[in-house]
A and B are shown apart, each in its own frame.
Chain A
Amino acid sequence: MFELSHASLDHGRQRVLHDISVNIAAGEKVALIGPSGAGKSSLLSLLWEQNPEQIALCPQDSALVDILSVYQNIYMGGLSRHGNVYNLLNLIRPWADRRREVSIIAEALGIGEKIKTSPDKLSGGQRQRVALGRALYRKQPVFFGDEPVSSLDPAQGDELLGLVLGEHETAVVAIHSPELALKHFTRIIALQHGRIVGDWASGSVTLEQISAIYSGGQ
């Protein structure tokens, strides 16, 4: 489904990804691990470009439209399913059917009562839930997340990650917590200094090995 062979990426003069070769098949749930600055976000965006239409994206700084309501922020995931006139009218007055759909997602994410508020009045954790809501409402087979539960406490992060992964057939997620990586994913790819330094099926790797990657060692 996604395929890179000997790919590299430069940001200005700096090379952020070196010689990346990777294949990701439909149905795989891949965790990207590695210290910050290792190139996880860059790899995600490189893969994203291969199939943007089928991917529900959840970027790192949640990238919400701050003053619009939580409802509208989640609805934005479904913009491509409707025509411009329909979408414009929705901006003035939300359609009842769409409202029901979005409410169900918001309830599941624990922000049901915040649906009329706007993200500028929410906490970091609540904002991440809204961003996940938009990704869920995209209703795509593939989920791409960049630290999608980093602002939530471990128990909530665990629960929501399970929920989102359950709704998608394939997933590639950059993640900070070794426990979550082992628990929820079928495959773990480790990055360091812009190179892939490990690629395991999640059964064949231990928590200690993953933790070592984060601390920058081998």
Chain B
Amino acid sequence: MSAGVFNEASTASRLARLSGGFIVVAILSLFIADIHFYRPDPWQELGRIGLGLITPYWPDIPELALALGHTVAFALLAVAGSAFLGLLLAMWFHRRIVRVFSASIRSVHEVFWGLLFMQVWGLSATTGLLAILIPFTGIFTKVFADILHQQSPQTVQTFGDAPRISRYVYGLIPKAWPELISYVRYRFECALRSSAILGFIGLPTLGFHLETAFKQGQYSEAAAVLWVFLLLIASVRLWLRPKLIPVFILAAIWVLPEMPPVNASFFWQFISQDLWPKALQRGDLIATGEWYGKVFMSDVWPALWQTLAVTQAALVLSGLLALMYYPFASRWLVGGFRPLGRFKLLVLRSVPELMLAYVFMLIFGPSALPAILALGIHNGGLIAFLLANNSEDAAKVQRPDSPTGAMRFFYQDLPQRYPAFLALLFYRWEVIMRESAMMGVLGIATLGFYVDSAFEEIRFDKAFFLIVMAALLNIIIDSLSRRLRRMAGLRTPKM
């Protein structure tokens, strides 16, 4: 046992100090974040939205069905492709180049990839598919590598000096198969959300109709889309049967919107010229430096601050909400009230953050506030769901004379869950940051706002620079989170 201060304090008080630090930063962030109330009377709008929610209506059913088909098709094909590529890359995860490659492609949000590809392929199937496939490949690579790494090496050791792919295909992959499949399932749900969200930048998925309906104040239509989406997410387990997947994939290919022919020279011009400042193309390095410096000061710097402020505030809000929600979804803690709590969590974690933010924006007007609320509620719901499961699993081994009522929560369950809670929250940190940046496309002053504006002004060089900066910030937060988790002695959580 090591001597010194750490031995003096209980683990709880150390974790409480760490949490306290994050809370202080979040409160400071609220002063930095651009928070305004534009509407003096949000209740009227809220009333109309509420009325819409209970009177869903859609005039053109085939149109809605097609959007639903596109949403599922993008998600399914992108996940199938990225899971395969991820598994392939995971075999070479010990190579630094693979790790860096996977970290950089997953550090850019689907919406940003979508905005990039839109400049080349327009609002086509290619854009939608690649926007999901690329970041998901990065995520699958990392998570699959983690899962495969945790398998016991004994099976493979009996193979002698077999080639790498054979060792994986015969040994590690079959052993890890159930875990790999269950992660792909979870990711498919995420892909459905991403696919829907891509509608907000114009792709023909459910999000497109949702945004259009909201924009026109037609809340019954918006609600119809939202309910369809929630039903889709809730029913995934019913229709996504392993045997039917080949059929679904064929159907998805058939449903896809038109794919434009790949124009190689146009694509080459885009990545070799359009994304870089004129000065660099001339070879004038001094002017290039000046250009980047100028854009950094005018756009990147304020955008980074706003993104960070929203991230930190949303992170702490997620945590607080998760701790408030989860006891109500655990049978051990609330008994018969549990179904109500679980239903709420299902809704909260299924609605994409961007949709929530959009609703809050209609209520509070465009500022950092809707983004913070939406991210907090969505991530809080997600973490709470995992904690509630964790709490119910632990109930089987709790001692019979455990405290009852509120004291059961505060003295026993909460301290038992807290390390896993912090680990999950830190795990979501970079996800929350990526989404804070993306929320800018709604007009909130985070990185996404500047990216979107740059694309609108057809200044691809500036947009690309901003996206790279967002990716860098994401990679920094990811490594900071990993370091904090290790320092606090928190184990990597199972999702």
A-to-B contact residues, CB < 8 Å: 45, 48-49, 52, 55, 57, 59, 63, 65-70, 72, 76, 79-80, 84, 87-88, 91, 116-118, 120-121
Contact = CB atoms under 8 A, between A and B. Distances in A.
Specify which of A69, A87, A118 lies most central, judged by the most chain B CB atoms within 10 Å of its CB: A118
Interface in B297-329: none
B403 A76 contact: yes
A84 B405 CA distance: 9
Given A63-B398, A67-B10, A116-B8, A79 B418 contact: no
Contacts of A45: 400
Contacts of A66: 11, 415-416
B9 A79 contact: no
Q: A-B pairs with the 3 shortest C-beta distances? A: A118-B10, A69-B10, A67-B11
Contacts of A67: 10-12, 15, 415-416, 418-419
Nearest to B8: A116
Nearest to A134: B401
B492 interface: no
Contacts of A118: 10-12
A68 B399 contact: no
B237 to A, nearest CB: 27
Contacts of B401: 48, 52, 55, 57
Given A69-B13, A84-B405, A84-B406, A59 B399 contact: yes
Contacts of B419: 67
B142 to A, nearest CB: 29
12 contacts: A63-B398, A65-B411, A67-B11, A67-B415, A67-B416, A70-B10, A76-B403, A76-B412, A79-B411, A87-B411, A116-B9, A118-B11
Given A45-B400, A52-B401, A59-B399, A68 B407 contact: no
B410 interface: yes
Interface of B: 1, 7-13, 15, 398-401, 403, 405-407, 410-412, 415-416, 418-419
Contacts of B418: 67
Contacts of A76: 403, 411-412
Contacts of A57: 399-401
B12 to A, nearest CB: 4
Given A68-B12, A84-B406, 5 more contacts: A57-B401, A59-B400, A68-B411, A91-B411, A117-B9
A120 B403 contact: no
A91 B15 CA distance: 14
Contacts of A88: 406, 410
A55 B399 CA distance: 13
A116 B407 CA distance: 21
B236 to A, nearest CB: 32
Given A52-B401, A57-B400, A59-B399, A117 B8 contact: yes
Contacts of B410: 87-88, 91
A63 B403 CA distance: 13
Contacts of A68: 10, 12, 411, 415
B399 A63 contact: yes
A123 B401 CA distance: 23
A88 B410 CA distance: 8
A105 B400 CA distance: 23
Given A63-B399, A68-B415, A87 B407 contact: yes
A79 B398 contact: no
Contacts of B403: 76, 79-80
Contacts of A91: 410-411
A83 to B, nearest CB: 10
Given A57-B400, A57-B401, A120 B11 contact: yes
A187 to B, nearest CB: 24
Nearest to B418: A67
Contacts of B400: 45, 48-49, 52, 57, 59
A65 B414 CA distance: 10
Nearest to A135: B401
A128 to B, nearest CB: 14
B8 A65 contact: no
Nearest to A82: B407
A49 B400 CA distance: 9
Contacts of A116: 8-10
A91 B403 CA distance: 14
Given A57-B401, A65-B412, A67-B418, A117 B7 contact: yes
Specify which of B9, B10, B13 lies most central, judged by the most chain A CB atoms within 10 Å of its CB: B10
A209 to B, nearest CB: 32
A116 B400 CA distance: 26
A92 B2 CA distance: 26
Contacts of B405: 84
A84 B408 CA distance: 11
Nearest to A84: B406
Contact of A69 (B1, B12, B406, B416): B12
Specify which of A45, A65, A91 lies most central, judged by the most chain B CB atoms within 10 Å of its CB: A65
A129 B406 CA distance: 27
Specify which of B9, B11, B13, B398 lies most central, judged by the most chain A CB atoms within 10 Å of its CB: B11
A172 to B, nearest CB: 14
Nearest to A57: B401
A77 to B, nearest CB: 9
Nearest to B416: A65
A39 to B, nearest CB: 16
A154 B15 CA distance: 36
A146 to B, nearest CB: 10
A137 B207 CA distance: 59
Contacts of A84: 405-407
Contacts of B416: 65-67
Contacts of B1: 121
A121 B10 CA distance: 8
Contacts of B15: 67
A66 B394 CA distance: 13
A91 B412 CA distance: 11
Nearest to A61: B397
Specify which of B8, B12, B419 lies most central, judged by the most chain A CB atoms within 10 Å of its CB: B12
A63 B419 CA distance: 17
